[in-house]
Structure 1
Amino acid sequence: MLRSPHRGSLEGLAPGKTGEPQGSEQPAPPHLISLKGGGSPVRDILGELHFDSSDGSIWLAGRRMLLLHSDVFGALRQELVASLGMDVARGLITRMGYLAGSKDAAMARELRPDDQPTQAFMVGPQVFALEGFGPIETVRFEMDQASGHHWGEFIWTNSPEADIHIDAYGTGILPACWMEIGYASGYASAFMGKRILVREVECRAMGHAQCRSIARPAEHWDDPEQDLRYLLAHPISTNSSRGSASDRAKAASRARPTLGVPASSTAAVGASVAFITTMHKINRVAPTDATVLLLGESGVGKSLLAREVHGASRRAHEPFVEVNCAAIPEQLLEAELFGVEQGAFTGATKTRPGRFQVADKGTLFLDEIGLLSLTAQGKLLRVLQTGEIERLGSTTTHKVDVRMVAATNENLQIAIKEGRFREDLFYRINVFPIMVPPLRERRDDIPVLLEHCLAKFCARHDRKIVGITPAALQAIYDYAWPGNIREFENVIERGLILADEGSPIDVAHLFTINDGIGPDLAGPERSSFHKMASAPAEAGEPPAPRDLDALLADLLDRKIALSDVEDRLLKAAVERSNGNISRAAGLLGLTRPQLDYRVRKRLASKS
């Protein structure tokens, strides 16, 4: 087993003040809500749990769940440890817990939309216990989203992971509640909009009488990397004979950090399953020389990921050359890519190497490759096939050793059918395609992205922003982000500039009146964000249309029950959508999980 000097002790905590961080002697702000004593009763959430014997499904607040034997989970855990090693297995299980916590935080916000954030937060311990991880005793809890303050001390009683670990390995020197640690970190981070690191300072698998955890912002720990590394996407190899030990060590060192404070402001950050999966693919292909094709919508971060491929490759210390194919006029593209000889055309006063030669031994990134002309595509294909270039105005060929990464937001197969892209070039560059997910499919990354952007822009503009208000954070979660990471960064930078020094970012700081973002351009999520951002603080509900008033009056006159109205409305939406649940949810202004939950709840009430 691996040893860590930071496990099994209270190092980093002030002596004589068990559970309090160093430097925390200052009293908490008076506006903080502190909860001490036992957690909220589990029965408060039991009404959201439904078992459907007709199709064998289990639903918790509209989310489908699984019921799994603890022994089966233990067997899987042991197999992961035996095949991948303790560190890698711990990382996988911790990330599973992080995702579960992040998902449950979204559920808690839906179940308690009108509660104070601190009260809504306490849904987590209830769900945690209901999912089989045992009750939680809250020793101390303080949370203030606006100032970024978070402090918690919890005792996990009857932890199944501790029992599983003790049965398999006995007691040791490392904490064993990996999924619980990940869950608590993911749940708290999603609520706070910043990384909250939960550390297990006592564990029954270490010989203690109980499992005790401390939660606080990652930057308030002296050594957050000790725990954050388990949330990183490292390359996994189950073949111990693949390469020498030194080769495997070099491969591990090439894995770039994907969570935590990045080495530079251009590093990719994230914590969601979609992001981790993408990084696993990058770490898998980076050590090779295979051509990588990055696909995805505009603004998802394809350029950053191209740099990740280069940084994790054997060419990391060689040039990385980026070419935006859409920004170079067609008549100059050949000279830019392949170089030009002196006198090749008017104005060519000296010989100049092209981007291929500049990138020799390194990586060439061709962004927006789908916009290349057919002529340029043919010349590019020849270079990729032969590894040779010929400068404009020259008959001499030059060998180049270049690893190519390409990117596009176009569907190249459609472009091929329309005659805009060469099929043979597509097959040449489509060696290792990676689909980069849009931000709306990786909302679990928002806390990490938000913290990263705030740190970057505070440093750039010399501003001090203490955090983000609960309303602004909820608005960020609700928005659909059609411009993806690029739009996200712009909105956060604007909010940081508009917010007062030393104050949190509020909803009004995020979007301005002249954004041109309105309900006509948005789905239900974007519309809700726009309403939150633009509605006056004291404004009441807008008047209902006259036909709606007449309909309401008719329903009341006929004494039709609210449950009947809801039943008919749900049924009509599903019928109009031809059974497409996602489309029906959109018609009703709901998410699919919310619609599923309402349908299940109605069925349960009838039975």
Structure 2
Amino acid sequence: MTIEFEAKLNHVDIQDLTSLIQFESTEGKIWFGEQLILFMQLPALAAFRRELVNSIGVERAKGFFMRLGYQGGLRDAELARRLRPDSDDMALFWTGPQLHSLRGMVKNRPIKIEIDKESGHFYGELEWVDSWEVEIVQTELGQIDEPACWSLLGYACAYTSAIMGQEIIFREVSCRGCGDERCLIVGKPAREWEDAAEFSRYFTAEPIIEELYSLQSQVKSLRSSLARHQGQYYGIGDSPDYKNACKKIDKAAQSKVSVLLLGETGVGKEVIARSVHLRSDRAEKAFVAVNCAAIPQELIEAELFGVEKGAFTGANQSRAGRFERADGGTIFLDEVVELTPRAQASLLRVLQESEVERVGGVNTRKVDVRVIAATNESLEQAVKDGKFRADLFYRLNVFPVQIPPLRDRLDDLPLLVEHFLAKFHNDYSKRTLGLSDKSWRFIKNYSWPGNIRELKNVIERGVILTDNHETISLESLFASVGPEAVNTDDTHVYSEGQVVKPSNIKTTDGWVDTLINQQIGLDSIEEQLINRAMAMTNDNVSAAARLLNLTRPALAYRLKKLSENDSTNLK
């Protein structure tokens, strides 16, 4: 299809694109749809480009900027398909130049454009007017010997390739940055360029970079192997609370002491238990995990301690229980509070005498098993309620470790998300562009009632619902989040998986009038709220922050400010 374009292309409305720009001046953020964008001064970009050229040379710097533009082109192609799903091929293609213009990158003037997706034909000839890269070359860097519009070229190649569904290469045949009269680009399928393979190398990481990455990967693999050999692999996390828990466990790993892991459902207690096993001198022996809540109560004793033939109806043969299978190694009893009274008595005997007696048997068998128990309930309360034996509790509670919930270790989110993305990209043979900025904002404010298990499921759903080379949207992550939650900014409270607009929180006007009539200032109200929240949570900053719907860093900053004000007032 051939179109004599400028008149026809210029009529394509840009209002749907401009409406996506949202400013949050109080938060220091600018949004374009679900993506964060920046305003940057050209002189700063010029200084960065100069430093890059001086550090790694022109060719590598050119490749860097072209890849930078390439990534932007991929994301804008995704955005264009979402915004204009019913557009014809020409309007969809022209969305790219419009987005470029909207961002202040360059004005596109079409000269000749031919598009026929069915036959795979594409030819584009455009003039770039007032390119930002030419601007910095002419005003900051000085004229160069080759075309200067590196990032713009990468963008054009990626955007058009994504729209056409085949590799399209644009070349800058003339450029004002190197003394030509105008910037002119020509684009056509890669097969029609003789040097396509050579040109495409700009979109691949430089060999020196690949070599460094390869070395880093090897080092990481060696460290991982060494860590596993030494049993020091505790999962993923660098936050202080999580590292402290791991350090505490590490001290117990080399001994035979029983460990009691405490924490909410989904925090990764089994991962920690396996790590204790790997860290111990039992690493070469069996690790047996048992979910006590998943086994029917009438079968729990037989499962754990074994059964002799004829002990009950259906016991047609003798078989070993989980403790015998774990002999010499480690057994992990998850949800240990669910054990029946008889099973608790048998477990106590194992801990005290290191022997088991099968159901229906008369002989005891010696076992050498390290017991790691876990629960998301309070065993102390279960003892008070008569649900759990006190003597068993004291034997299990020799070395208790509290595993922090995900909401108290949000600094680990990037590491965890990266880990799960890599896993599910591999599992489903696809490659997304990761989470959108809106998605990141949401998950950092979400309360994660299901902890790491919930995060894993959320990322898996996002990868499944997202096409290759597209960003994972908020709707893909959380199926229950409606468009109103996605299209607004910081106007929501995230709690227990629910999204609540503050405008929907019911209050009465009486206390507000009282505060105003008594001329109580905002600073005083804030101080009282913070002090009250800290008192209610026994000075737990993370918990207090959740009560106040603040991030932990935000509350820590306010506490520091209050402390400084108090110090000033005392002088």
Q: With the length of structure 2 as denominator, give the TM-score of the two structures.
A: 0.55
Instruction: Report the equivalent of 1:526.
Output: 494
In the alignment, is residue 429 of structure 1 matched against residue 396 of structure 2? Answer: yes
**CA shift at 1:493, angstroms?**
1.2
> Any residues of structure 2 matched to 1:326-341 within 5 Å, and which?
326-341=293-308
In the alignment, is residue 221 of structure 1 matched against residue 224 of structure 2? Answer: no
User: Contact 2:346 / 2:356 at 8 angstroms: preserved in 1?
Assistant: no
Instruction: Report the equivalent of 2:383.
Output: 416
User: Contact 1:254 / 1:311 at 8 angstroms: preserved in 2?
Assistant: yes
Instruction: Report the equivalent of 1:47.
Output: none
Q: Tell me the SS of whatever aligns to 1:293.
A: strand
Instruction: Report the equivalent of 2:232.
Output: 256
Q: Tell me the SS of whatever aligns to 1:285.
A: helix
**CA shift at 1:25, angstroms?**
5.7
Identity %: 42
**CA shift at 1:294, angstroms?**
0.8
- Are residues 23 and 600 of structure 1, via their aligned partners in 2, closer, same or farther at CA, if it must alter by over 3 Å? closer
> Any residues of structure 2 matched to 1:262-281 within 5 Å, and which?
268-281=235-248
Q: Tell me the SS of whatever aligns to 2:246.
A: helix
> Any residues of structure 2 matched to 1:13-412 within 5 Å, and which?
17=56, 27-30=66-69, 221-224=213-216, 253-257=229-233, 268-412=235-379
User: Quick one: distance in 2 between partners of 1:425 and 1:386?
Assistant: 13
**CA shift at 1:256, angstroms?**
3.2
Alignment size in residue pairs: 371
User: Quick one: distance in 1 between partners of 2:209 and 2:242?
Assistant: 22
User: Quick one: distance in 2 between partners of 1:21 and 1:282?
Assistant: 47
Instruction: Report the equivalent of 1:510.
Output: 477
In the alignment, is residue 570 of structure 1 matched against residue 546 of structure 2? Answer: no
- Are residues 598 and 507 of structure 1, via their aligned partners in 2, closer, same or farther at CA, if it must alter by over 3 Å? same
**CA shift at 1:270, angstroms?**
1.3
**CA shift at 1:299, angstroms?**
0.8
Letter in 1 for 2:550: L
Q: Tell me the SS of whatever aligns to 1:300.
A: coil
User: Quick one: distance in 2 between partners of 1:350 and 1:442?
Assistant: 49
Q: Tell me the SS of whatever aligns to 2:312.
A: coil
**CA shift at 1:325, angstroms?**
1.0
Q: Tell me the SS of whatever aligns to 1:224.
A: helix
The CA deviation string for residues 394-433 of structure 1, in whole angstroms up to 9 with x for no partner, is: 2122111111111111111111112111111112122222
User: Quick one: distance in 2 between partners of 1:253 and 1:287?
Assistant: 14
The CA deviation string for residues 549-602 of structure 1, in whole angstroms up to 9 with x for no partner, is: 9x89x98xx9x99xx752354256468769658798667543465356458769
Instruction: Report the equivalent of 1:160.
Output: none
Instruction: Report the equivalent of 1:112.
Output: none
User: Quick one: distance in 1 between partners of 2:291 and 2:504?
Assistant: 50
**CA shift at 1:451, angstroms?**
0.5
**CA shift at 1:332, angstroms?**
1.2
Structure having the larger proportion of residues in helix: 2
User: Quick one: distance in 2 between partners of 1:594 and 1:16?
Assistant: 38
- Are residues 396 and 499 of structure 1, via their aligned partners in 2, closer, same or farther at CA, if it must alter by over 3 Å? same
User: Quick one: distance in 2 between partners of 1:279 and 1:342?
Assistant: 43
- Are residues 446 and 225 of structure 1, via their aligned partners in 2, closer, same or farther at CA, if it must alter by over 3 Å? same
**CA shift at 1:513, angstroms?**
2.4
Letter in 2 for 1:315: R
**CA shift at 1:452, angstroms?**
0.6
User: Quick one: distance in 2 between partners of 1:284 and 1:218?
Assistant: 39
Letter in 2 for 1:29: L
User: Quick one: distance in 2 between partners of 1:546 and 1:410?
Assistant: 34
User: Contact 1:478 / 1:529 at 8 angstroms: preserved in 2?
Assistant: no
Q: Tell me the SS of whatever aligns to 2:383.
A: helix
The CA deviation string for residues 180-219 of structure 1, in whole angstroms up to 9 with x for no partner, is: xxxxxxxxxxxxxxxxxxxxxxxxxxxxxxxxxxxx9999
User: Contact 1:323 / 1:367 at 8 angstroms: preserved in 2?
Assistant: yes
The CA deviation string for residues 516-571 of structure 1, in whole angstroms up to 9 with x for no partner, is: xx9xxxx985259855xx99xxxxx969989779x89x98xx9x99xx75235425
The CA deviation string for residues 281-324 of structure 1, in whole angstroms up to 9 with x for no partner, is: 23222222221111111111001111111122211121111111
Letter in 2 for 1:429: L
User: Quick one: distance in 2 between partners of 1:401 and 1:287?
Assistant: 15
User: Quick one: distance in 1 between partners of 2:382 and 2:211?
Assistant: 47
Q: Tell me the SS of whatever aligns to 1:398.
A: strand
Instruction: Report the equivalent of 1:482.
Output: 449
- Are residues 293 and 320 of structure 1, via their aligned partners in 2, closer, same or farther at CA, if it must alter by over 3 Å? same
Letter in 2 for 1:421: F
> Any residues of structure 2 matched to 1:516-595 within 5 Å, and which?
526-527=494-495, 531=499, 566-567=522-523, 569-570=525-526, 573=529, 589-591=549-551, 594=554
User: Quick one: distance in 1 between partners of 2:58 and 2:395?
Assistant: 58
Q: Tell me the SS of whatever aligns to 1:221.
A: helix
Letter in 2 for 1:590: L
- Are residues 279 and 443 of structure 1, via their aligned partners in 2, closer, same or farther at CA, if it must alter by over 3 Å? same
User: Contact 1:524 / 1:590 at 8 angstroms: preserved in 2?
Assistant: no
User: Contact 1:255 / 1:283 at 8 angstroms: preserved in 2?
Assistant: no
User: Quick one: distance in 1 between partners of 2:62 and 2:323?
Assistant: 54
User: Quick one: distance in 1 between partners of 2:463 and 2:550?
Assistant: 30
Letter in 1 for 2:66: P
User: Quick one: distance in 2 between partners of 1:600 and 1:352?
Assistant: 62
User: Contact 2:448 / 2:496 at 8 angstroms: preserved in 1?
Assistant: no
Instruction: Report the equivalent of 2:83.
Output: none
Q: Tell me the SS of whatever aligns to 1:331.
A: coil
1:451 is aligned, of 418, 424, 435, to 418
Letter in 2 for 1:502: H
2:432 is aligned, of 457, 465, 472, to 465
RMSD across aligned C-alpha pairs, in angstroms?
4.7
- Are residues 566 and 228 of structure 1, via their aligned partners in 2, closer, same or farther at CA, if it must alter by over 3 Å? farther
The CA deviation string for residues 475-533 of structure 1, in whole angstroms up to 9 with x for no partner, is: 11111111111111111111222223211112222212289xx9xxxx985259855xx
User: Contact 1:299 / 1:487 at 8 angstroms: preserved in 2?
Assistant: yes
User: Quick one: distance in 1 between partners of 2:375 and 2:309?
Assistant: 33
Q: Tell me the SS of whatever aligns to 1:458.
A: helix
Q: Tell me the SS of whatever aligns to 1:28.
A: helix
User: Quick one: distance in 2 between partners of 1:432 and 1:586?
Assistant: 29
Specify which structure has the bigger relative contact order, considering alpha-carbon pairs within 8 angstroms and separated by 6 or more residues: 1
User: Quick one: distance in 1 between partners of 2:494 and 2:430?
Assistant: 29
User: Quick one: distance in 2 between partners of 1:486 and 1:465?
Assistant: 21
User: Quick one: distance in 1 between partners of 2:66 and 2:303?
Assistant: 62
- Are residues 381 and 574 of structure 1, via their aligned partners in 2, closer, same or farther at CA, if it must alter by over 3 Å? closer
Letter in 2 for 1:318: K
User: Contact 1:465 / 1:503 at 8 angstroms: preserved in 2?
Assistant: yes
User: Contact 1:231 / 1:271 at 8 angstroms: preserved in 2?
Assistant: no
